[in-house]
A = this chain, B = another copy of it.
Amino acid sequence: MSQLGFLHPTGLGLSGSCTRSVSSHRDGFRIRPHRTRLHATQQKTAGKDGDAITTREKDYSEWYLDVVRAGELAESSPVRGMMVIKPNGMAIWDAIRDYLDAKIKQSGARNAYFPLMIPQSFLTKEAEHVEGFATECALVTHHRLRLNPETKQMEPDPESKLEEPLIVRPTSETIIWHMFGRWIGSYRDLPLCINQWANVVRWEMRTRLFLRTAEFLWQEGHTAHESAEEAREKAIEMINVYEDLCVNQLAIPVVKGIKSPMERFAGAEETYTVEAMMQNGWALQSGTSHFLGQNFAKAFDVTFNTSVEGVTDHVWATSWGVSTRLMGALIMTHSDDSGLCCPPKVAAIQIAIVCIWKKADQKEMVLGAAKDVAARLRSRGFRVELDDRDGMRPGAKYYEWERKVSLPGYRRRATIHKQVMHIENKNICPTGCSLADGDGTTGCGKRLCVLRSENWGTQVWSSCGREF
C-alpha cells in the first residue's frame, strides 16, 4: 500500500500460480474497444469550450481530469492534495463499500474503529515501516488556537504543545497491533480478523484526483493467526476477494500477482496485488494484501499460548486494503472521449429521464408521464434521475447527461416506446430522433436501448438482448 505510483506491467514480479489470463469479455460485462469510437468523438470535441473533454489521444492525463470534472465525481479542495468527493463519486464508492463490506464479513472479519492519530513512538517500532511512512505524514503538535495579542492573528497556542507529536494515520498497523497485544493471549483468541473503514493521510507531493491524494478513504483489514500457513492463506483469500470485486462488480480486468521486493508494503514479507490495465498501457495497482510474517507481532510483542501446554509463540499476521484509488481505475477502464462510462452495478445514476416540451401546455403531460416512469423504475431498484429543468435547451441537457450517465457496452440514449408511455408527443423521446421501431433500430441504423412494452413490469431489456 506504500506504492501509490503508476506501475508499468513489466515492473511486476508475477507469480505463475497467482496469475490468470485477462479477457476483454468476462462475466457478462462487455468491455468496449474504446479506440473504435475515437474518430466520431474527436469531431464532437473539436470545438472545445470550457466544458469540453480533452481527447485521450491529445493528452491522456488531461482527459482523465476532464472526465472526473464533467462527471461531477470529485474536485480539488483548498487543502493541498485533499479532494472533495462529490455526490456522484460518493455514490460509486458507497456501492463499492456495500458490496465489499458484505464479502469481508463473509470472510469472517468484523468491523471495528481505531484512533485517527498514532503516537509518534508507535510508528517507529517497526524499522521498515517507519522508513516507508515517516517522510509523508501529517503531524499534530498543538491542541489549541490563541489570539496573538501583538499580531491580532490566530496561532497555535504554545502552551498547548503536545509532549509527543501525534501522526495522522497513514495506515493503522501500529495502533492495531498495540490493541491486539491487549486482546490476544491464547490460541483460543485466534484467528482474530478485524476490518476498518476509514480515512488515512499521506503527505504526497504530486497529487491527482482519486489516484493519489493526501487524504483518501479505504478499508484496511488486519488479521492475526496461529501459523504462517494460515496467515498466508488469508492474505491470498483476500486478494481473491479484491479480484472478484474488480472483475464481477466493477468490470475491470485485472492481473493478479506478487510484488517485487522493492515494491512490497513497508513491513511485509510478501505483498499480493491486483493490477488493472489502463487504456494507455499503464498498470494501476487496485488492491493489495500483505503477508506480514511475525514482524508486527515482534515489534509489539504479541505472543499467545499455543495449544501445546507451556509453549508460546508470536502470532502471524496479514493486512489488506482497497481505497478510493480504485475509483481512478474504474474511470480509466470504462470512460471514453465523450465522458464517464460506469458499470451499471455501481453507477450513481443508472437511468436519466430527460423531459422535453415545446409549449407550456405540454409540460404537465410530459412531467406526469416521466414521473410515473421514474417511480416504476425506482420501485424496481434502479437509481433514476429526472431532469425537469425549465429554460434549458434540449441539446444542452443531452450533452450534460451524456457525460454523467453512461453504461459501457450500451449506447447512451434510451428510447421509450409510445406504447409504454401512452403519450403521442414524440418529444418525450430523449434521443431527439424519431421513435425506435419494434426491434430497437432507428431509421439512421443505430441500435438503441429500448424498454420493451411487452416486458414492462417484469423485465427491462436492451436492444442487444441483455437485461440491465
Residues on B with beta carbons closer than 8 Å to the beta carbon of A130 = 145, 154
Residues on B with beta carbons closer than 8 Å to the beta carbon of A134 = 144-146, 154
Assess whether A468 is interfacial by the CB under 8 Å rule.
no
Taking a contact as CB atoms closer than 8 A, the residue among B84, B140, B144 that contacts A114 in the complex is: B84
Contact B113 A90 (CB under 8 A): yes
Chain copies in the assembled complex: 2
Residues on B with beta carbons closer than 8 Å to the beta carbon of A372 = none
- CB contacts under 8 Å to B, within A401-446, are none
Q: Could you tell me the distance between the alpha carbons of A142 and B112 in the complex, rounded to whole angstroms?
A: 29
Contact A143 B154 (CB under 8 A): no
- CB contacts under 8 Å to B, within A133-154, are 134-146, 154
Which of A118, A122, A141, A198 has the most CB atoms of chain B within a 10 A radius of its CB? A141
Closest residue of chain B to A140 (Cβ to Cβ) is: B138
Assess whether A184 is interfacial by the CB under 8 Å rule.
no
- CB contacts under 8 Å to B, within A197-249, are 198-199, 201, 203, 215, 217
Q: A84-B114, A114-B77, A156-B139 are in contact. Are A389 and B215 (CB under 8 A)?
A: no
Assess whether A13 is interfacial by the CB under 8 Å rule.
no
Contact B79 A154 (CB under 8 A): no
User: How far does the Cβ of A88 sit from chain B's closest Cβ, in whole Å?
Assistant: 8
Assess whether A462 is interfacial by the CB under 8 Å rule.
no
Residues on B with beta carbons closer than 8 Å to the beta carbon of A179 = 77, 84
Chain A interface residue count, Cβ-Cβ cutoff 8 angstroms: 63
Assess whether A124 is interfacial by the CB under 8 Å rule.
yes
Contact A78 B156 (CB under 8 A): no
Residues on B with beta carbons closer than 8 Å to the beta carbon of A198 = 199
Taking a contact as CB atoms closer than 8 A, the residue among B91, B118, B154 that contacts A124 in the complex is: B154
Q: Could you tell me the distance between the alpha carbons of A90 and B195 in the complex, rounded to whole angstroms?
A: 10
Taking a contact as CB atoms closer than 8 A, the residue among B91, B137, B140 that contacts A111 in the complex is: B91
Closest residue of chain B to A134 (Cβ to Cβ) is: B145
Residues on B with beta carbons closer than 8 Å to the beta carbon of A118 = 79
Contact A139 B140 (CB under 8 A): yes
Contact B112 A87 (CB under 8 A): yes
Q: Could you tell me the distance between the alpha carbons of A112 and B90 in the complex, rounded to whole angstroms?
A: 5
Name the 9 nearest CB pairs between A and B, nearest first: A87-B110, A82-B115, A85-B113, A134-B145, A143-B203, A139-B142, A90-B111, A79-B115, A141-B141
Task: Please report A residues at the B interface, Cβ cutoff 8 Å.
Answer: 75, 77-79, 82-87, 90-91, 93-94, 110-120, 122-124, 130, 134-146, 154-156, 160, 165-168, 175, 178-179, 182, 188, 194, 198-199, 201, 203, 215, 217, 389
